[in-house]
Structure 1
Amino acid sequence: MNQNPNAICWFEIYVDDMERAKKFYSAVLGITFDDMAVPGGAGDFKMSAFPADPDPEKMAVGGALVQMEGARGSGGPPATSSIVYFPCMDCSVEESRVEAAGGKVHKPKFSIGEYGFCAICLDTEGNTFGLYSMQ
């Protein structure tokens, strides 16, 4: 069972040009971004975070712009423009249910360093979604 009362815990918007996307969202939303180090050395990509309350007690939903080769349809992972992450106690539990429910596990549970673990899956409609946990 999930201890987080939010339906989602994280989102990513995949972009082709990080600086252009930051400029757009900054102009539209009146916000500034914080460039992030790639969690756990998980790959060669760029991330820049939307503002969010860092207090873990508040369980705020955070998110980032992500620039990753192939993520928007030129090979690699399924083409996507955004991914929502659902909070779990141990994402391998929910991941184990995906294929039986008619979906597909694209990338099994993997470490994102000090930030925990993720799994990337596809639902029955071909939508990409993530599972996230600290264990």
Structure 2
Amino acid sequence: MKAKNPIVWFEIYVDNMNRAQKFYETVFDVKLSELPMPDTLDSDMKMMAFPSDMDGPGASGVLVKMAGFESGKNSVLVYFHSEDCSIEEKRIEKAGGAIQQGKQSLGEFGFMVLATDTEGNMFGIHSMK
């Protein structure tokens, strides 16, 4: 059996969708798009999707605003891919977030940055250079 990446989807819960969307679009220089809700799901739930290629490797995901799910209360840490994580690191504070751990070497495994978004969620950025 061929090994696969273990993560296929992620959800980042937010309290203020507009603020969170602006933060992630600014830091990662992407445009998020609204993900329509199926009729079977809570109509008050809102999702904004990160750009993705469903046929490519890696995981995709969304920002989620949903009653009963506060931001910053989770214990999962999502790492975003980067060519050089110092690029996104320079945008984090300007976008309203905070650096928790500046770019640091992971030896043969590359580099990482840890940060907190505008909603109190910690996330990581990983790169090989």
TM-score (norm 2): 0.50
